[in-house]
Amino acid sequence: MIFTDEVRPESAVTPRALHAQGVRTVMLTGDHDEAARLIGGKVGIGEILSELSPDRKVQAIENLKDGGKVRVAMISDGVNDAPYIAPAYVGIAMGALGSDAALEQAEVILMNDRIENFLLARLLSIRAKSIITQNIIVTLGTVLVMVSAAFIYPVPLNPRRRRP
């Protein structure tokens, strides 16, 4: 007999959407392997690392980062998970039930504890990064045009005063 948590039907939406976007998903858990695989299979997690002690979870995150080559986002319910959120490139805590320590370590807090909202947060961050990049390009382009114009059409720093 295997005891597991109840899986909400909408929980499978997030891993499926992430896989469609080319994102690798890994579940880190201290649960027994059989229970972890059952839950992971229901929601469609790509890889499952089970029966991990707290130290092994931190080590697993470091291994996933591959020396900084891979950006790891750690999504957690926030209960006793501050040590696992901290080493991730981006820490995401489920805010309503999360511990204060986990909420302090997280860069993103999902306030209503619905994992599907991570997709919206990811989409918003991608869009914001695009807008910031566009703003930087337009700003630097404007500066370059103004500097170039100053060389072609010199602007006197001390204009001559008109005599009355």
User: What value, to the nearest 5°, has the Cα angle with vertex 90 and ends 84 and 94?
Assistant: 65
The most distant pair of C-alpha atoms in the chain lies apart, rounded to whole Å, by 101
Q: Could you tell me the two tokens for 51?
A: 């029966």
Please report whether residue 92 resides in a domain.
Answer: yes
Whether residues 27 and 103 share a domain: the answer is yes
Whether residues 32 and 91 share a domain: the answer is yes
Q: Please name the residue that has the structure tokens 């500066």.
A: 143
pLDDT tens digits, 16-54: 999 999 999 999 988 889 988 988 988 889 899 999 988
Whether residues 42 and 84 share a domain: the answer is yes
Q: Which structural domain, as residue segments, surrounds residue 37?
A: 9-122
Whether residues 59 and 112 share a domain: the answer is yes
Over range 118-142, report the average pLDDT: 95
What is the band of 75 on the pLDDT scale with cuts at 50, 70, 90?
confident
**How many Å from the N-terminal Cα to the C-terminal Cα in the chain?**
101
Please report whether residue 3 resides in a domain.
Answer: no
What does the H/E/C string look like for 81-112?
Answer: CHHHHCCCCEEEEECCCCCHHHHHHCCEEECC
